[in-house]
Amino acid sequence: MKKSWVGRSSEAIAHVLIWGFCAFPVWRDLDVRIEGLEHVPSRGPVVIAARHYHNFYDGAILLTRLRYPVHLLVALDWTRTPLQRRLLETMCYVARWPGVLRADAWNIGRGQYDGRSAYQLSEASACLRRALATAVDVLRSGDILVVFPEAYPNIDPDATPKTAPDEFLPFELGFAKIAQMAERDGHARVAILPAGFTYAPKQPGQRRQQVTLRLGEPITLADYPDRQRLAATIEQQVKKLSLTPAACQRGRRPDG
């Protein structure tokens, strides 16, 4: 999908504006430490499969600390009004961010599509098709695509099925499917990186919260042709990368 000069310029402007919108609150609120940045390839398509802990900060950190450009796969169903929907869809279109509707049992069971969302459940399939096409286009352009395979964060102003601060949800297979689809052209070779977040509790008098982003070594589809095994491996690594140093020490066997 080739974009015109106007389209490319509009996308670049959108990314600059989004970067500026995210950079200030990250600088103001967080003390960010990054480990494993050398694992991100300097060029070529990359899927970052990340833990989803905070509804805003996770994406903002990845957008502002990784090589340009970064595209987020985002949920659209949280929008409540037609205006919110139009604004979010416009941003996603210009910035080439795939947008999906989380049409899972938890969301449906709480009546998300019965007057709560600006979307109808019947729109989920069409949204998914558009999102897959956009995600594949992003990767074939050699960009970075960030996916949160849990689909829900631990901290969210709306609602989340997570009931504990350190809870993880099972990883969905969507990120592996996107990588497979992107490689069908015979040219793209997608690197899949696990990413873990650790948010340290904010201490009294502390202005910024300490956050650690850990990036693991890249995995390719050639390493794990089976999507289930690939997703399970990435999930295991993301959990390990999200442990605090103290937890890592407790998990080690004593020498001897």
Residue 135: both structure tokens together: 């995600």
Map residue 81 onto helix, strand or coil.
coil
Q: Mind listing the pLDDT tens digit for each residue in 101-111?
A: 999 999 999 99
- On whether the CB atoms of residues 32 and 61 are closer than 8 A, the answer is yes
DSSP string over 181-208:
HHHTTSS---EEEEEEEEEPPPPTT-SS
pLDDT band at 20 (very low <50, low <70, confident <90, very high): very high
What confidence score (pLDDT) does residue 80 get? 95
Q: Mind listing the pLDDT tens digit for each residue in 74-84?
A: 999 999 999 99
Phi, psi of 64 (to 5 degrees): -100, -10
What confidence score (pLDDT) does residue 249 get? 42
What confidence score (pLDDT) does residue 159 get? 87
What average pLDDT does this structure show over 220-241?
94
What confidence score (pLDDT) does residue 3 get? 58
Which residues, including other chains, have CB under 8 Å from residue 180's CB and lie 6 or more apart?
Answer: 221, 227
Name the average pLDDT for the chain. 91
Q: Mind listing the pLDDT tens digit for each residue in 168-201?
A: 999 999 999 999 999 999 998 999 999 999 999 8
What confidence score (pLDDT) does residue 178 get? 97
Phi, psi of 30 (to 5 degrees): -125, 150
Looking at per-residue pLDDT, the higher value among 230 and 2 belongs to 230
pLDDT at 64 over 80: yes
Q: Mind listing the pLDDT tens digit for each residue in 114-156?
A: 989 999 999 999 999 999 999 999 999 999 999 999 999 999 9
Taking the CB of residue 156, how many other CB atoms lie within 10 A of it?
15
pLDDT at 254 over 50: no
- On whether the CB atoms of residues 135 and 178 are closer than 8 A, the answer is yes
pLDDT band at 255 (very low <50, low <70, confident <90, very high): very low
Looking at per-residue pLDDT, the higher value among 207 and 246 belongs to 207
pTM: 0.91
CA–CA distance, 72 with 146 (Å, rounded to integer): 5
What average pLDDT does this structure show over 22-26?
96
